[in-house]
Every structure is written in C-alpha cells, then in structure tokens.
Amino acid sequence: MQVSRCPKCGTRKTKLAPRKTLSDNVLSSLTIYPFRCQLCASRFRTFLGCRANNPRRSFERVDVSFPVWFKPRLSSSYDMGQEGVIDNLSIRGCRIRCTTPLTAGSRLEMEFQHSNCSFPITIDEAVVRLSGENTIGLRFVRLQRSDELRIRQIMDLWLPETAQPIISVRRR
C-alpha cells in the first residue's frame, strides 16, 4: 500500500483533488492525478497506476463542535454579533450552526474556541458561501499566520493518519 506524501511538508494527510484543468484531464488518462495536502494546502500530482474517482472537494472536513462568535466584518465594536457552533472544519473553511443565518456573499470576522486551555482562534475575514436554514458554510479569506498554524494542528490531530489510503498497482 502506498500513500501519497505531500512533497512540501511530508505529511501523509493528503487527498485526491478535483480535476479542473485540461492537463488534469489529459494526465488522468495516464492515472496521474492531482492531490491536495490537507495540512499545508499544496497541490501536487502523483502517478497512481490505477483508476481513481474525481472527488468534489479538495479539503476533507472533520466533525467538530466548537463554540464560535461572529459578526459582519468592520461592524462597530459595540456589535456583539452572534454565537453559534462550528460543526465541521477544514484548513480552508467551516460550517456553522446558528439561529440567524447570513446571506451568501456576506463577510464576517469570527473567533472560535477549540479547547478550554488556549486562546480563541481568530479569522479576520471569512465569506459566506452557502446559507441554509440554520447553517452557513464559510470560506476563510484572511487570517494571521499563527492562527492558520493552529488550525493546521487541529486538522493534524483530527484527521486520520491515512485519510485516504491509495493502493498502487504497478505492472512491469
């Protein structure tokens, strides 16, 4: 069994990525597929030697339950915003359960608490991608490097060691 390691950071927490470009499609006929590192986000290609499906998502999301506070970006500091719960998280975004969902396209700033013994993680800017009845899907747009690294650590902890084992069949 062979797992595709990230060439940049070395983790095995990588995942098949959606094929988007013409070269992705051409190379896929040779079973060379795009991958995404789930920790550092780098995209790379790997020869698999067997057929693989074309996934929808680039980033695996882990189920979590973190309290979160969010409000429209650049609103006054008196605006307390609202509270919700993050119920899944990737290095690029999350889903929040909340009582008053915001419309798609709105921009937020948010803070969430992932453990009782550390500071909240701050996202300076996130954009609402999907708005459901009691949930919103967000993509992170801007955050401090240190907060980004802390989200990576959470993902490293919560994602299984071999998120997606790849069986490479090479015939000689």
62 vs 127, which CB is nearer to Zn ion?
62
Q: Is 89 in the site for Zn ion (CB under 5 A)?
A: no
Decide: is 6 part of the binding site for Zn ion (CB under 5 A). Answer: yes
**3, 5, 9, 127: which one binds Zn ion (CB under 5 A):** 9
The interface with Zn ion within residues 19-58 (CB under 5 A) comprises 37, 40
| Residue 93, C-beta contacts closer than 8 angstroms, at least 6 positions apart | 59, 126, 129, 137, 138, 139, 140
Q: Is 8 in the site for Zn ion (CB under 5 A)?
A: yes
**Beta-bridge partners for 125:** 142
Residue 153 is a binding residue for Zn ion (CB under 5 A): no
User: If binding is defined by CB under 5 A, does position 91 make contact with Zn ion?
Assistant: no
C-beta of residue 117 within 8 angstroms of C-beta of residue 109: no
Overall size of the chain counted in residues = 172
| Residue 129 per-residue DSSP state | E
Would you tell me which residues interact with Zn ion (CB under 5 A)?
6, 8-9, 37, 40
